[in-house]
């Protein structure tokens, strides 16, 4: 099936008749299947569910500022022709997986690690292996067209046999790192932070998130399925994702930050801002967490994010509530975190909420327009899909999207990692540099 452009207003019914068939199989690690799947390949692990999917029976792409609305409309048209077996668990029913670029239409000239990644791309997988939150594993096949049901049933038999023949194996060692290149280097970073602090002190800019890039040349060829499995073992409570389009690199990561989850009219998100390292002992860990809770700079940065999320959701919600601010502990870093829950006034699609929230002040800044302009003027690289929404949505308009931080885009022998920090009026460049290095660690540890 030809890719669907996001700005298409309609598609022919016989082209978008969707049949999905699935079968429960003996448990196999979802990560084991990744290496067997064709491009485009996606993987998603969160909220007790794991998905590895490959091939595409439909692809939606969009460019420009209207990319969220374009994808939503094309997805609704695509799902209008679906037929699904009623005994499939909800997590195994058709979903569109993908993500968006941080900025629209702002690609570097020449060769870029983001070649093959448009401003938005979502795929309806041809085959997926799903581990549901109750521990069952399903092989699911989707086909489109007049003979969709017959084709899906035939391919289901083939894929069940292939999956059941696989044997779980421990992940391979990382490829190793030969050379590292920072963009900017530490001196350039200091100049950027000092310039941002000066802009904050003299103007209306309240906060801006500046990011850096770390490009590593790898000693051996990269096995993204193995890296993905190591991230899953080390960061089981994070959102793990992989997006590998045809003709491009592979974007993957383990992010602690949920952008939005919609289930009917209930919406969940959280503010995640303010960070410190982990201690070598439980006592040092507690001391660092206490210092983070009491630090005026970190609390100020965090409160800005909480208030901005509430403001962004308020046009859609009948009620918004926040939980207690706590410390979220990960393997290499600790964050201030506040959960936010809202009840929608209408049946707004999850992509409408994604558009309203992106970018949060945790990855952009405040006021949003001035912060984004500062990022474009300051950063020396293309963010691509870094810090952007990645996730899935379904025919009901439900879905979950995470913020693609703690991430990298990679080819066979090179990976570019990204990390950023929120800059406010009293930010210290050296401390901010040290915190950014901590945020590279999840992917670096998986590569080394």
Tens digits of residue pLDDT in 355-386: 999 998 889 998 999 999 999 999 989 999 99
78 and 208 share one domain? no
Tell me, yes or no, whether 244 lies in a domain. no
Q: How many domains does the chain have?
A: 2
The set of long-range contacts for 200-204, using a CB threshold of 8 Å and a minimum separation of 24, is 200/423, 200/424, 200/425, 201/425, 203/370, 204/367, 204/370
pLDDT value of position 106? 56
75 and 208 share one domain? no
Binned at pLDDT 50, 70 and 90, residue 433 comes out as very high
CA distance 17 to 82: 6
CB distance 378 to 301 below 8 Å: no
Catalytic residue among 31, 151, 257, 370: 257
300 and 419 share one domain? yes
State yes or no: pLDDT of 416 exceeds 80.
yes
216 and 128 share one domain? no
Tell me, yes or no, whether 247 lies in a domain. no
CA distance 345 to 318: 5
Tell me, yes or no, whether 248 lies in a domain. no
Percent of the chain with pLDDT over 90: 63
Q: Could you tell me which residues are beta bridge partners of residue 344?
A: 317
Tell me, yes or no, whether 233 lies in a domain. no
- Cβ within 8 Å of residue 91, ≥6 positions away: 49, 51, 130, 132, 133
301 and 428 share one domain? yes
195 and 132 share one domain? no
Binned at pLDDT 50, 70 and 90, residue 108 comes out as low
154 and 193 share one domain? no
269 and 331 share one domain? yes
Q: Which domain holds residue 410?
A: 177-223+256-446
Among 124, 143, 165, the domain boundary falls at: 165
158 and 280 share one domain? no
| Average pLDDT, integer, range 271-286 | 88
State yes or no: pLDDT of 212 exceeds 90.
yes
Tell me, yes or no, whether 13 lies in a domain. no
Instruction: Note if 207 is an active site residue.
Output: yes
Q: Could you tell me which residues are beta bridge partners of residue 258?
A: 402
Average pLDDT, the chain: 89
Q: Which of 131-135, 206-210, 277-281 has the highest mean pLDDT?
A: 206-210
Tell me, yes or no, whether 12 lies in a domain. no
Among 141, 165, 189, the domain boundary falls at: 165
92 and 215 share one domain? no
| Average pLDDT, integer, range 305-333 | 92
Among 135, 165, 195, the domain boundary falls at: 165
CATH number of the domain bearing residue 413: 3.60.120.10
389 and 420 share one domain? yes
Catalytic residue among 31, 207, 379, 432: 207
Backbone φ and ψ for 175, nearest 5 degrees, come out as: -70, -15
Tell me, yes or no, whether 27 lies in a domain. yes
Tell me, yes or no, whether 303 lies in a domain. yes
Backbone φ and ψ for 216, nearest 5 degrees, come out as: -120, 135
CB distance 101 to 119 below 8 Å: yes
91 and 157 share one domain? yes
State yes or no: pLDDT of 9 exceeds 80.
no
Instruction: Note if 310 is an active site residue.
Output: no
| Average pLDDT, integer, range 335-346 | 95
């Amino acid at each position: 099936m030809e890719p669907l452009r996001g700005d298409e207003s309609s598609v022919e019914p016989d082209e978008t008749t969707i049949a999905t068939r699935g079968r429960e199989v003996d448990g196999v690690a979802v990560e084991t299947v990744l290496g067997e799947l064709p491009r485009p390949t996606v993987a998603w692990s969160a909220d007790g569910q794991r998905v590895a999917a490959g091939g595409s029976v439909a692809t939606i792409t969009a460019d420009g500022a209207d990319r969220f609305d374009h994808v939503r409309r094309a997805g609704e048209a695509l799902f209008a022709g679906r037929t699904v077996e009623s005994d499939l668990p909800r997590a195994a029913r058709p979903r569109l997986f993908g993500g968006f670029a941080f900025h629209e239409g702002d690609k570097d000239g020449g060769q870029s690690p983001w070649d093959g990644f448009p401003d938005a791309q979502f795929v309806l997988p041809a085959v997926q292996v799903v581990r549901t939150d109750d521990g069952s594993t399903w092989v699911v096949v989707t086909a489109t067209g007049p003979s969709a049901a017959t084709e899906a049933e035939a391919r289901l038999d083939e894929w069940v046999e292939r999956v059941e023949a696989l044997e779980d194996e421990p992940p391979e060692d990382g490829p190793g790192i030969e050379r590292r290149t920072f963009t900017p280097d530490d001196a350039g970073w200091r100049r950027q932070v000092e310039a941002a602090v000066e802009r904050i002190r003299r103007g209306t800019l309240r906060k801006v998130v500046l990011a850096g890039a770390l490009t590593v040349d790898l000693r051996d060829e990269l096995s993204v399925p193995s890296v993905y499995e190591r991230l899953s073992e080390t960061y089981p409570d994070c959102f793990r994702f992989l997006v590998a389009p045809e003709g491009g690199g592979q974007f993957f990561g383990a992010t602690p930050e949920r952008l939005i989850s919609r289930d009917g009219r209930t919406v969940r998100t959280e503010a995640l801002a303010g960070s410190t390292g982990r201690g070598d002992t439980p006592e040092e860990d507690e001391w660092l967490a206490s210092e983070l809770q009491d630090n005026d700079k970190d609390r100020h940065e965090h409160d800005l994010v909480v208030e901005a999320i509430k403001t962004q959701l308020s046009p859609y919600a009948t009620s918004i509530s926040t939980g207690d601010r706590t410390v979220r502990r990960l393997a290499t870093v600790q964050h201030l975190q506040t959960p936010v829950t809202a009840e929608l006034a209408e049946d707004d699609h999850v992509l409408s909420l994604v558009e309203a929230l992106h970018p949060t002040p945790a990855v952009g800044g405040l006021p949003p327009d001035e912060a984004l302009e500062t990022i474009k003027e300051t950063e020396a690289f293309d963010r691509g899909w870094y810090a952007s929404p990645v996730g899935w949505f379904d025919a009901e308009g439900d879905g979950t999207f995470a913020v693609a931080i703690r991430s990298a885009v990679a080819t066979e022998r090179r990976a570019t990692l990204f990390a950023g920090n929120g800059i406010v009026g009293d930010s210290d460049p050296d401390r901010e540099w040290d915190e950014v290095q901590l945020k590279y660690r999840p992917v670096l540890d998986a590569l080394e």
